[in-house]
Amino acid sequence: MRTTSFLLAGLCLLAVACDKPASANKGDPSTTTAPVVSSTAAPPSATPPPTSAPAPEAKTVDLKITANASTMAFDPTTLTVPAGSMVHLVIENKGPGALPHNWALVMPGTEAKVAADGLAKGETENYISASSDLLANTPLAKAGTNTEVTFKAPPPGKYPYICTFPGHYMMMKGVLTVTP
């Protein structure tokens, strides 16, 4: 019924001489007025800007992880994010102490390889070597400083994270769980 009246109203506009047959529908005035208004050549100021609809974006998850410049440990040692999210992770390296730390998310079972590859790169490269085993990483955070990284969560699963500073990865580790 509403579709019919809508079509009739549209045809009415096309045939200018038409004498408002849609007004015979006494039920819902909004169904008859809506097509008329939208078809009228309205002044530009009356129409909302077409770019007002924001594009859909992945939700961002903010994570904070703490390390200590005098020990080799992450706090916490477990993190959880939903699949598809954008992850913003900050690592805070608290003093006192002098140990730099970083945070590297790796494919399961590749901790030793990623750490060894990073070691070969040296401190100027943050002990990080890009590879398909390395999913995300922060730069080194010197004692008393923060560093951060933003990345898209990998597919659902459990992923180790480590510090690749020389000698740290075997103790300084945790697990990021990506939920479906």
Q: Using the minimum distance from each CB to Cu ion, give the nearer residue, 32 or 93.
A: 93
Q: Which of residues 87-146 bind Cu ion (CB under 5 A)?
A: 101
Q: Rule CB under 5 A: say whether 169 interacts with Cu ion.
A: no
By beta carbon distance, the residue nearest Cu ion is: 163
Q: Rule CB under 5 A: say whether 163 interacts with Cu ion.
A: yes
Q: Using the minimum distance from each CB to Cu ion, give the nearer residue, 94 or 101.
A: 101
Residue of the chain from 12, 168, 173, 174 that contacts Cu ion (CB under 5 A): 168
Residue 167 sits at φ, ψ, to 5 deg, of 85, 0
- The answer to whether the beta carbons of residues 113 and 54 sit under 8 Å apart is no
Q: Using the minimum distance from each CB to Cu ion, give the nearer residue, 35 or 100.
A: 100
| DSSP assignment of 41-108 | ---GGGSPPGGGSPPP-PPEEEEEEEEETTS--EESSEEEEETT-EEEEEEEEESSS---B--EEE-T
CA distance 128 to 2: 64
CA distance 138 to 146: 10
Window contacting Cu ion (CB under 5 A); options: 27-35, 40-48, 154-162, 171-179: 171-179
Q: Which of residues 4-63 bind Cu ion (CB under 5 A)?
A: none
Sites of contact with Cu ion (CB under 5 A): 101, 163, 165, 168, 172
